[in-house]
Amino acid sequence: MSQPPYTPGDSPLVREALSSVVSRETAPSTPVSIGYLPSRQDGDWPRPPRQRIITIANQKGGVGKTTTAVNLAAGLSMHGQRVLVVDLDPQGNASTALSVEHRGDIPSVYQVLVEDMALRDIVSPVPDMPNLYCAPATIGLAGAEIELVSLVAREARLKRALEAFDSIELDYILIDCPPSLGLLTVNAMVAAEEVLIPIQCEYYALEGVSQLLQNVELVRVHLNQSLRVSTILLTMYDGRTRLASQVADEVRSHFGESVLDTVIPRSVRVSEAPSYGQSVLTYDAGSSGAMAYMDAAREIAFRGAAVSGK
């Protein structure tokens, strides 16, 4: 099979990864384990020594950003962590999945970014999830990209709002980004110390990663020296295809220990849950998708504790 064309902006990392996938397309696949090996445990998980702000970003649509944000937040909150989900996507899918009202006339992240409304005035508790909160997005956020251009410190509006938020002592803030690399995503990166990248286990999954990594580096150099890509999560893994296993292998070989051991499988239940205003963890806790996301949340909690020396 011939190698697909690459644009000049592609990084050597991505070119090499995709080239290797193509050249090994007929090679024997290596099984990928689904689920974090340590057993799931009841009870509270270790709380981070200080608040962790994690931006979930990938400009490629349909890779599981919102699904990941919602289900990791649910998993963490179910084990004693106090979690805020900031919905930064004008589509408001995270708000929908968490059953938080986000009609056009509801105060939302738009008012926080553009009109300087206090974040505490828009944050709502998630129904039936005592430790989980959501800052909703409305369709008005679609215009924020343009309106932010003329504002002072436009890249740091979200960071300032989060720093002033003292209504709830939070362990985690998860920011769900839109599928773009505009000012909303830049705001999310400036506000966070960690970036989590969901990567779909399919052929074109790595194509946009080079541009995302370049943007992360630009933000780190010019706006937020604390920013780093801390976590890669493989999503939509289909064990029936050899290519999924090969993509997973290539991602692990290039990103190393930042890739979670847990792999999220394709799951009908994961897709169904948002239509009921739920995470898959509350919709069908016994499904493969729910168990995988719970394992991923647990892995993030325990990795964070290990890094901090706890």
Domains of the chain in sequence order: 42-307 (3.40.50.300)
Which residues in the chain come in under a pLDDT of 50? 1-41, 309-310
Give the pLDDT confidence of 280-289 residue by residue, as tens digits: 999 999 999 9
Q: Is the CB of residue 17 less than 8 Å from the CB of residue 206?
A: yes
**pLDDT value at residue 306:** 64
Q: What is the pTM of this model?
A: 0.85
CB half-sphere exposure, 266, CA atoms < 13 A: 10
* Strand, coil or helix: 270: helix
**pLDDT value at residue 127:** 92
**pLDDT value at residue 181:** 84
**pLDDT value at residue 102:** 83
DSSP 30: P
**pLDDT value at residue 162:** 97
At residue 50, what is the residue type?
A: R
Q: DSSP characters for 83-108?
A: EEEEE--TT-HHHHHTT----TTS--
**pLDDT value at residue 99:** 92
Q: Provide the CA 139 distance to its chain's centre, in angstroms.
A: 20
Separation CA 239–CA 33 (nearest Å): 10
